[in-house]
Structure 1
Amino acid sequence: MRKRLLCGIATVSMLGTATVSFGAGFKVSEQSAKAMGMGNAFAAQADDPSALAYNPAGIAFLKGTQIQVGSATILVPQTEFDGTTRLSGSTVVSEKANRDIFIAPTVYATSSFESIPLAFGLGINSFHPLAKRWDASSELRDSIQSISIKPINFQPTVAYRFDNLNLAVAAGFDVTYAQVSMQKMAYKAIPNLPAYGPLAGTYQEVGTIGADATATGYGYNLGLQWKPLPVLSFGVAYRSEIKLKLEGDANYLRSGANAAALGLPAKARSTAATDITLPDALTLAVAWKPIEKLTLEFDAERTGWSSYDKLEMRFGPTLAAFNNSDPKNWKDVWAYRLGTQYAVTPKMDLRAGYAYDKNPAPDSTLSPELPDADRHNFSLGSGFHNEFASLDLAYMWVHWVDRTVSNVKESGTFKSDAHIFSIAATYKF
């Protein structure tokens, strides 16, 4: 039961939101309205301040000082489950998670010098937000009832441009701070021993668990952008893993007809802790202009989810009986993104994109707090700009492939879809 408590906590940083996350695992790739309109294929173009999130080397080619403020409004995935669970036994049930609205703001600022080919940038965004709520009476309540993860990432970056090569490189730091809240019903598998009488070998409700935890982790990011021809550009970006040591408080309130007979306290408080490593990510990208008004880009991103091999939960003495190690055994995966932009007029662009994200979670460890699956992302966008400002709008539909699993937690099919709306305004000084 405690494993779920920090499974949410772990997810905080990785996120690796699903639920609210739209890259592989629990990562939100939608960090810019312009990029989202092109299916997040943007690491080779990287031509506005949101380059800090996709390929920081791009800020070396931006002129003057630019500030971008944006927000992605996410309709949290409508997840449905049809099948059996540990609580329903052989009875087939149908469950739906609550659909909520989640807002992920972004702020990017860049500044370059006229006398030297050097640029600085600061990005503030959220790569791993998460939100999921199942009803209190859900047959999945022993895994999760609600989880909310609110991470914020600060990214100071410096970039240098080699004008004679049309090449730029960048390096920066990532500082991620995360807050997590979670609640679930606590159940306990009773040993099949005579001492437990009629409860022996059963699965009993014993209470409600709630937890709040925080963590700060540090990493780095690197970028390279090369423009060998006016119509061709390449991008390479790398974001390191971030190690989080999550610490917080756990609360337990006893419930269930047989909880007292098991010797559990009416209520208890404890510390809670776990260690999580957020995965690294490598992006390779190419952008090409076959004609003057049309830009095409293809990105491939590898995420090192194999770092998420288990989730260990550690509690203080009062709840030490709930210490647990939950295997995850995720694998490294690739995502592929294709985007296009067409300049309808000198001041207006239309965009479209598609992305395919492979999920990293094996059937054996899939659970309802993050019922991930392979996904298809379809997007549309537009941009309006002049010499001093720009406004970008985008919409994305995320469709998860139906995921049928059979493991110790549940046996059935998860179905999910989500809608994202994004807007960003950029000011140039």
Structure 2
Amino acid sequence: MRRLPCAAAALLSLAAAGRARAHAPDAYGLGSRGASMGGALVADATDFSASYYNPAGLCGATGLGLSIGYGYASNRLRTNGRDSGVRDVHGLAGGLVVPGEVLGVPFALGLATFLPDDGLSRIEAIRQETPRWELYDDRLSILFLAASVAVRPLPFLELGGGVAFLASTRGRFAVTGRADALSPYDSALRHEVDADLTSIRYPHLGARVRAGELGFVGIAYRGEAKLPLAIDARLQGVVDFAGIEVPLLYELESRTVDAFLPRQVVVGASFQRIRGLRVNLDVTWVNWSAYESPVARTRAHLEAAPPPEVPIDLPDDPRPTAVAPLRFGDRFVPRLGVEYVIPAAGGLRKVAGQGERRAIEIPLRAGYVYERSPVPPQKGVTNYVDADRHTMSLGAGVVLNRPLEELPGSLRIDLHGQLSVLPEVVVEKDNPADFVGDYRADGTMLNLGATVTAAF
């Protein structure tokens, strides 16, 4: 009896305590073009990915566009030279752009999504004292969906906005009935499970301005979002032990943040003065100081009414978890992306919305991102592991302009590769008796993928 509340609390807390995390576009980019250019697209995204990078760019679409792609990220993050178990992440990315006009004013609708192919959600509990890569664990396990609209009220100005969706979880389960401690198969128990998904919405806003022949300047805002996870449990019944019946009631409540997306502001420029060449520079402010601890806050209570002749000393209710405060810092993330389109072969063809283009074009791309770690030195009880991240990316593709009469735009196939290097950091504890002790952390992340886009 003494062990029951502790064991049940541990089991149910493991079910409820998730790792706070961001989603795939934040970690690896959305679509092959964005990934290969380091995500520096706030002033230069006009396909489905604009619903993430800057919804105002949807007005730059030259026609109806449909995109589908796949990405696979292999994460090799280590602690003390051993793999930390950060999962490889993979899934489908895609969306559409629908441009049009209303009373002579150009507008566009957009939809973008990232769908992990190994489940829409994953919950894994780890104590705050256990070292784990806090910003990268299970990043792709969250479904991303955004719907956007853009308008061009002036020839040089585009405005856009949208809403992104996530789903939070609330669950309740109960067990009632009679349990036979000596003959478990003779127990008569009834289980009730109730769970629901509640939509969490947050805004994406943006603007794009044409800077004459130089190119475009863009700014975008991505709102903060957090997924609360709530689990309530109630066990009520009678435990029969060799003819001794003990009525029992156990209750547990657990509350945590299953995922956290920080608020972001992105400003950037796309220089397009040289035909076929684009040089993009972005700077992103990320509000990591608002980050909330993923450690579950639980409350447990046990009641029992044994017969008077059976004295049972019930333990006190377990104390709530003492969650150590977080002091993550905001950071600025510079991004550089370069694209050069080679008119490779074929004669000139009139392409819908683009004028005359070569039949076959080859885009070549490269990018670089530097992300300073927002996690402070872990000298105390917590072990949120992180390191600065240097990401180098390359990409290439082929564009078939007006390949069919039924396809007056283009068919584009893009490939990308990203290599992220996280240099070694050494964590030294203030307390020499800390049960984890000092440790080293470093790693690499490799992301490969492809995207196919048909523009009509």
Give yes or no for TM over 0.5: yes
Q: Which of residues 151, 154, 171 in structure 2 aligns to 1:160? A: 151
Q: Secondary structure at the match of 2:324?
A: strand
* Structure possessing the higher radius of gyration over alpha carbons: 2
Q: How far off is 1:163 after superposition? A: 3.9
User: Which shows bigger deviation, 359-368 or 105-114?
Assistant: 359-368
Distance 1:220 1:32 in 2: 20
Q: Does 1:352 align with 2:351?
A: no
Give a deviation string over 1:98-150, Cα, whole Å, max 9, x none. 464321322221111145311111222279x998999x9xxx99556997562
1:329 maps to what in 2? 327
Distance 2:270 2:444 in 1: 29
The letter of the residue matching 1:170 is G
Contact 2:69 2:451 survives alignment (8 Å)? yes
Q: Which of residues 249, 256, 277 in structure 2 aligns to 1:274? A: 256
Q: Secondary structure at the match of 2:90?
A: strand
Q: 1:241 to 1:358 in 2, by over 3 A?
A: same
2:77 maps to what in 1? 79
Q: How far off is 1:417 after superposition? A: 0.4
Q: Does 1:343 align with 2:341?
A: yes
The letter of the residue matching 2:152 is R
2:187 maps to what in 1? none
Contact 2:18 2:296 survives alignment (8 Å)? no
The letter of the residue matching 1:323 is T
Q: How far off is 1:289 after superposition? A: 2.5
The letter of the residue matching 1:374 is D
The letter of the residue matching 1:294 is L
Q: TM-score, normalised by structure 1?
A: 0.72
Q: How far off is 1:41 after superposition? A: 1.1
Q: Does 1:380 align with 2:389?
A: no
Q: How far off is 1:249 after superposition? A: 6.6
User: Which shows bigger deviation, 344-353 or 275-284?
Assistant: 275-284
Q: 1:48 to 1:369 in 2, by over 3 A?
A: farther
Structure 1 segment 117-132 matched on structure 2, within 5 A: 117-125=106-114
Q: 1:213 to 1:274 in 2, by over 3 A?
A: farther
How many residues align structurally? 355
Contact 2:132 2:384 survives alignment (8 Å)? no
Q: Which of residues 83, 87, 93 in structure 2 aligns to 1:96? A: 83
Contact 2:262 2:287 survives alignment (8 Å)? yes
Q: Secondary structure at the match of 1:49?
A: coil
1:423 maps to what in 2? 450
Structure 1 segment 171-210 matched on structure 2, within 5 A: 171-177=161-167
Q: Which of residues 386, 398, 416 in structure 2 aligns to 1:394? A: 416
Contact 1:97 1:133 survives alignment (8 Å)? no
Distance 2:82 2:124 in 1: 11
Q: 1:269 to 1:238 in 2, by over 3 A?
A: same
Q: Secondary structure at the match of 1:230?
A: coil
Contact 2:36 2:367 survives alignment (8 Å)? yes
Q: Secondary structure at the match of 1:60?
A: helix
2:279 maps to what in 1? 296
Q: 1:237 to 1:411 in 2, by over 3 A?
A: same
| Aligned structure 1 segments of 4 or more residues deviating by more than 6 angstroms | 1-4, 129-134, 144-147, 212-215, 365-369
Q: How far off is 1:272 after superposition? A: 2.2
2:238 maps to what in 1? none
Q: How far off is 1:287 after superposition? A: 0.9
Q: How far off is 1:296 after superposition? A: 0.5
The letter of the residue matching 2:111 is L
Give a deviation string over 1:34-76, Cα, whole Å, max 9, x none. 011111111111122211111110001213321211222111x
The letter of the residue matching 1:158 is V
Give a deviation string over 1:253-282, Cα, whole Å, max 9, x none. xxxxxxxxxxxxxxx984421247531000
2:93 maps to what in 1? 106
2:240 maps to what in 1? none
Q: Secondary structure at the match of 1:324?
A: coil
Contact 2:17 2:296 survives alignment (8 Å)? no
Distance 1:366 1:418 in 2: 28
Structure 1 segment 145-156 matched on structure 2, within 5 A: 148=138, 150-156=141-147
Contact 2:95 2:110 survives alignment (8 Å)? yes
Q: % of aligned pairs identical?
A: 22
- Over the aligned positions, Cα root-mean-square deviation in angstroms equals 3.8
Q: 1:145 to 1:298 in 2, by over 3 A?
A: closer
Q: 1:306 to 1:161 in 2, by over 3 A?
A: same
Contact 2:14 2:124 survives alignment (8 Å)? no
Q: Secondary structure at the match of 1:59?
A: helix
Distance 1:81 1:402 in 2: 9
Distance 2:383 2:72 in 1: 21
Distance 1:44 1:410 in 2: 46
Structure 1: stretches of 5+ with no match in the other structure: 83-93, 181-211, 252-267
Distance 2:143 2:86 in 1: 23
Q: How far off is 1:232 after superposition? A: 1.4
Q: How far off is 1:9 after superposition? A: 2.3
Distance 2:387 2:19 in 1: 19
1:116 maps to what in 2? 105
Q: Does 1:34 align with 2:51?
A: no
1:16 maps to what in 2? 22
2:47 maps to what in 1? 48
Distance 2:276 2:197 in 1: 47
Contact 1:48 1:62 survives alignment (8 Å)? yes
Q: 1:309 to 1:98 in 2, by over 3 A?
A: closer
Q: TM-score, normalised by structure 2?
A: 0.68
Distance 2:256 2:416 in 1: 37
Q: Secondary structure at the match of 1:229?
A: coil
